[in-house]
Amino acid sequence: MLNGIGIFLLVLLALLLASFRILREYERGIIFMLGRFWRVKGPGLIIVIPGIQQMVKVDLRIIVMDVPSQDVISRDNVSVKVNAVVYFRVVDPEKAIIQVEDYLSATSQLAQTTLRAVLGKHELDEMLTEREKLNLDIQQTLDTQTDAWGIKVSNVEIKHIDIDETMVRAIARQAEAERERRAKIIHAEGELQASEKLLNAAQMLARQPEAMQLRYLQTLTTIAGDKSATIVFPLPMDLLQSLTGERRTKET
């Protein structure tokens, strides 16, 4: 009789110890009472009645999930391989357990299909130059679809965009052609500005013959400083007339 009571007490003590659970600050426990949802408990010390209640733990921390490389065909029919990383967390533990069988696997599969669907609407140039905009589009699409699962997608980052080698060479040729086009435009703009300045200078000299004579004398002075060659330079008739006119004035 005493042995039976001792065994009963030991079993009761074991069940009592098994009913105590400790949940960390970032954990929550989904309690089911005879198969039906009862409540969300935690963090701290909680009691789960063995055989009657069952608990499923949920981690509330941000989960970092790698999206495997996906084959994407852009809107301009270029095939690329793209992989990404998704940051999300559970904000409603009840929905995350009840509304979807495995929220981690479901989020991963949804991220893969969303990545292909969103990037397929854009051209290759947009994928390479507007990555932040594409990240935001994917994040918003994922967040909308996972809201029913109690999951909040906080960020999506495209990691790598792998392009075929032939496309890399084509892009390099396109970039080289673009640089040559810009260089020609800059050169043409410089020639236009220089011609406008020369035209303004010619018009000013035409309006003021004295300025032309001063410029002529300055040029002669510059050439005279170079003693390496003999230079024959024509003398303008306007300058001779002005000089002879001054001489006649002095003689009279």
**CATH at 71:** 3.30.479.30
Q: Is residue 76, in this structure, part of any structural domain at all? A: yes
Percent of the chain with pLDDT over 70: 75
Residue 13 amino acid letter: L
Q: Is residue 15, in this structure, part of any structural domain at all? A: yes
Q: 149 and 99 in one domain?
A: yes
Q: Is residue 107, in this structure, part of any structural domain at all? A: yes
* 17-32 per-position pLDDT tens digit: 778 888 999 999 999 9
Q: Is residue 79, in this structure, part of any structural domain at all? A: yes
Buried b (16+ CB within 10 A) or exposed e, 147-180: eebbbbbeebebeebebeeeeeeeeeeeeeeeee
Whether the ω angle into residue 93 lies within 30 degrees of 0, i.e. cis, is: no
51, 96 contact by CB (below 8 A): no
**Residues of the domain holding 21:** 10-59
Q: 101 and 35 in one domain?
A: no
Instruction: Report how far Cα 169 is from the mean position of its chain's Cα atoms.
Output: 23
Q: Is residue 174, in this structure, part of any structural domain at all? A: no
Q: 127 and 84 in one domain?
A: yes
As for how many domains the chain has, the answer is 2
Q: 68 and 54 in one domain?
A: no
* 171-213 per-position pLDDT tens digit: 667 667 777 888 888 888 888 888 877 777 767 666 666 666 6
pTM of the predicted structure, to 2 decimals: 0.65
Q: Is residue 157, in this structure, part of any structural domain at all? A: yes
Q: 115 and 40 in one domain?
A: no
